[in-house]
Chain A
Amino acid sequence: GDSVTQMEGPVTLSEEAFLTINCTYTATGYPSLFWYVQYPGEGLQLLLKATKADDKGSNKGFEATYRKETTSFHLEKGSVQVSDSAVYFCALRGGTSYGKLTFGQGTILTVHP
């Protein structure tokens, strides 16, 4: 079945540092890929998405590129802020699904001033 693997966390960075959170997936067909973010006390919010190979999703300075050859969708940001502290989830929607999302385990990011 479909699965998503995220890098082990938590991740702790200083403000303005470069962020990478690795995500790899296993799926049949042509999945869509997503990054969701969860701030303390809130629900999951869609951060960015990509629906086909080589697409780049971007939002709020975050980027991720759909790499079919390496089955990856790594999240990057050039300069993190304290306000980026949250839990980040990589997810996929399989090509044959009615909408079911399969999530990775989540990565806790803490950014210090």
Chain B
Amino acid sequence: EPEVTQTPSHQVTQMGQEVILRCVPISNHLYFYWYRQILGQKVEFLVSFYNNEISEKSEIFDDQFSVERPDGSNFTLKIRSTKLEDSAMYFCASSDYSNEQFFGPGTRLTVL
């Protein structure tokens, strides 16, 4: 069964460093999403991406964040200068026209 994959499973970085979280969505999907979950809190929407551009983003998704689909398979989330409060589990999701979102297992980001 096709699935969304994410790498790495755990990323540890120093405050102020740049990180790139990678996702491989399901191959025939067209809509891509990033969510995050700070420990003990709700899963929060960050951004949606369709047709090579951002279609919707939340207040969390400020200038420190960017997304890219650099080739036909990967979908990345970049955080330019990480802060302590960026520590969270980051989930990638993808969907086709049915809009049923399939989620990856997540990347745990720890900022020290």
Residues on A close to B: CB < 8 A? Answer: 36, 41-46, 49, 89, 91, 93, 97-106
A71 to B56, CA, bound (A): 25
CB distance from B16 to the nearest CB of A (A): 29
A89 to B89, CA, bound (A): 15
Q: Are A98 and B50 in contact (CB under 8 A)?
A: yes
Q: Could you tell me how many residues of chain B have their Cβ less than 8 Å away from some Cβ of chain A? A: 25
A77 to B31, CA, bound (A): 32
Q: Are B101 and A101 in contact (CB under 8 A)?
A: yes
Give the chain A neighbours of B95 by CB distance below 8 A. Answer: 99
Task: Say which residue of B31, B42, B101, B102 sits within 8 Å of A104 (CB atoms).
Answer: B42
Q: Are A43 and B4 in contact (CB under 8 A)?
A: yes
Task: Say which residue of A45, A99, A104 sits within 8 Å of B99 (CB atoms).
Answer: A99
Q: Are B56 and A98 in contact (CB under 8 A)?
A: yes
Task: Say which residue of A45, A46, A89, A99 sits within 8 Å of B43 (CB atoms).
Answer: A89
What are the interface flags for B78-103 relative to A under an 8 Å C-beta threshold, 1 for contact and 0 otherwise?
A: 00000000000001010100011111
A45 to B101, CA, bound (A): 9
* B44, closest chain A residue (CB): A103
Q: Are B101 and A105 in contact (CB under 8 A)?
A: no
5 extra interchain contacts, Cβ-Cβ under 8 A, other than A44-B43, A99-B55, A103-B35? A44-B93, A100-B48, A101-B45, A103-B44, A104-B42
